Amino acid sequence: MNKQKKISIFIIVAIIIVAALIGFNYNHDKGKTLFTASFLDVFDTKTDIVGYSDSKQEFSQQVEKIKEKLVYYNNLYDIYNDYDNINNIKTINDNAGIKPVKVDTQIINLLKYCKDIYQKTDKQVNVAMGSVLSIWHDYREEGSENPDNAKLPPMEELMEASKHTNIDDIIIDEANSTVYLKDPEMSLDVGSIGKGYAVQRVVEYAKEIGITDMLISVGGNVCAIGQKDDGSKWRLGIQNPDLESEETYSKKVEIKDACIVTSGDYQRYYTVDNVKYCHIIDPDTLMPANYFSSVSIITKDSGLADALSTSVYNMPFEEGLEFINNFDGVEAMWIFEDGSIKYSDNFEQYVVE
């Protein structure tokens, strides 16, 4: 009996130790804390990172790594600034018609992706439109600084510039890792796609270094890695374009392992004769589109979401809906100037409340 008792006590103690160990791990996993970080260093916008981590220190390290990557892509895809020892998109533009520029593979990859997207979006997203966009950019800057004197760019000037927007004039030499713009008058503007593409690369990097639940938002270009620590989905607000309204968000959506990008006219615009002209330019009319206040796209790939939100913004609703339906796993939401909202076929599954 005594021996039996000893054995039974031993077994019980063993069970308890194992249970305690399992119990501790169980809690350990669920005990992560929510942290947030933000910075202004990349893509001329605010980056927010929301994530679960065991400690503040671990989270800060993750953020630093992600920031480093974002800075890397930011410098490569910049069209306005030079950086020491880096050939970026601006270097390519500066050497248009002069010589091929040796660039990082990530620029080659981006430009190949851009050419691919150009075909897929039926020529709606053209990164070779820099000549046209820079005219709008200059007039918009002028007009914002000097609202009384705000002017629209003359159509002749835009038409002239649009002659130098042939995407086939981007000569990519993968073997030598060079890019050459054949047309000396042309320039690249990756604004409609570079940010989203970079975010997607960074998300993949984050997964590689073992991050399993994080939200990365670069200027509202939001990517969700995994879901929240408690098993619920990430909840995002879609900005209400009516900035006077009490409602901050038009709709709330819940996503996991997906990206959402919104293109809208309410942030970057300028006013000429009481008419708003936003920063998104329709390649067909060379003018800012004004069908909607904003268009949001949800899909797995941030680069695609970025490109599609711009192109859909430039199309009338029916055309845009048909366009979206050509893509698998892409959903869209349109907010019209009067505040009314329309969804693509399956967008509503993401909407909450």
Partner 1 sequence: MKKSKRNDIILIIVILIVALVFYIGFNYYNSINTKEPVTVVKVGDEVYGTFPLDKDVVEKIELSDGSYNILEIHNGKADITEASCPDGICVNHRAISKQNETIVCLPNKVVVEIHNGQKNDVDTITN
Partner 2 sequence: MSIKKNVYLGFLIALAFVFSYIEFLVPISVGIPGAKLGLANLVILISLYTMSYKDAFVLSLIRIVLVGFTFSNMASMLYSIAGAVLSFIVMVIAKKTNFLSITGVSVLGGIFHNVGQIIMAVWVLKTPSLVFYYLPLLIVIGCLSGTVIGVLGSIVTKRIQKVAKFY
42 binds partner 1 (CB under 8 A): no
Angstrom distance (rounded) from CA 206 to CA 188: 28
What count of other Cβ atoms lies within 10 Å of the Cβ of residue 72? 18
221 binds partner 1 (CB under 8 A): yes
Q: Pick the closer one to partner 1 by CB: 167 or 213.
A: 213
Q: Is the C-alpha dihedral spanning 326, 332, 337, 342 positive or negative?
A: positive
24 binds partner 2 (CB under 8 A): yes
Amino acid at position 165, single letter: T
85 binds partner 2 (CB under 8 A): no
Angstrom distance (rounded) from CA 278 to CA 147: 14
Residue 119 partner contact from partner 2, partner 1, none using kind-dependent CB cut-offs of 5 to 8 Å: none
Residue 36 partner contact from partner 1, partner 2, none using kind-dependent CB cut-offs of 5 to 8 Å: partner 1
Which segment (34-42, 64-72, 200-208, 310-318) binds partner 1 by CB under 8 A?
Answer: 34-42
12 binds partner 2 (CB under 8 A): yes
212 binds partner 1 (CB under 8 A): no
Q: Binding residue for partner 2 (CB under 8 A) from 7, 16, 155, 209? A: 16
6 binds partner 2 (CB under 8 A): no
Q: Binding residue for partner 1 (CB under 8 A) from 210, 231, 243, 318? A: 243
Which segment (5-13, 89-97, 160-168, 169-177) binds partner 2 by CB under 8 A?
Answer: 5-13
1 binds partner 2 (CB under 8 A): yes
* C-alpha R_g of the chain: 25
How far apart are CB 215 and partner 1 at their closest, in Å?
A: 6
Q: Pick the closer one to partner 1 by CB: 189 or 306.
A: 306
Bridge-based pairing of strands 33-39 and 47-53 is: antiparallel
7 binds partner 2 (CB under 8 A): no
How far apart are CB 1 and partner 2 at their closest, in Å?
A: 6
- Each residue of 312-346: b (16+ CB within 10 Å) or e? bbbbeeeebbebbeebeebbbbbbeeeeebebbee
Angstrom distance (rounded) from CA 231 to CA 213: 10
End-to-end CA distance of the chain: 64
Q: Pick the closer one to partner 1 by CB: 194 or 220.
A: 220
Angstrom distance (rounded) from CA 322 to CA 339: 22
Residues facing residue 170 across a β-bridge = 181
Q: Pick the closer one to partner 1 by CB: 184 or 237.
A: 237
Q: Binding residue for partner 1 (CB under 8 A) from 52, 59, 72, 234? A: 234
- Which parts of 25-84 interact with partner 2 (CB under 8 A)? 26-28, 30-31
15 binds partner 2 (CB under 8 A): yes
User: What residues contact 178, with CB distance under 8 A and at least 6 apart?
Assistant: 100, 101, 102, 103, 172
Q: Which of 180, 210, 243 is nearest to 52 (CA)?
A: 210
SS3 of 249-286: the string is: EEEEEEECCCEEEEEECCCCEEEECCEEEECCECCCCC
Which residues of this chain interact with partner 1, rule CB under 8 A?
Answer: 36, 38-40, 44-46, 48, 50, 141, 144-145, 215, 217, 219-222, 228, 234-239, 243-245, 248-249, 252, 260-262, 264, 266-268, 294, 296
For partner 2, the binding residues (CB under 8 A) are 1, 8-9, 12-13, 15-16, 19-20, 22-24, 26-28, 30-31
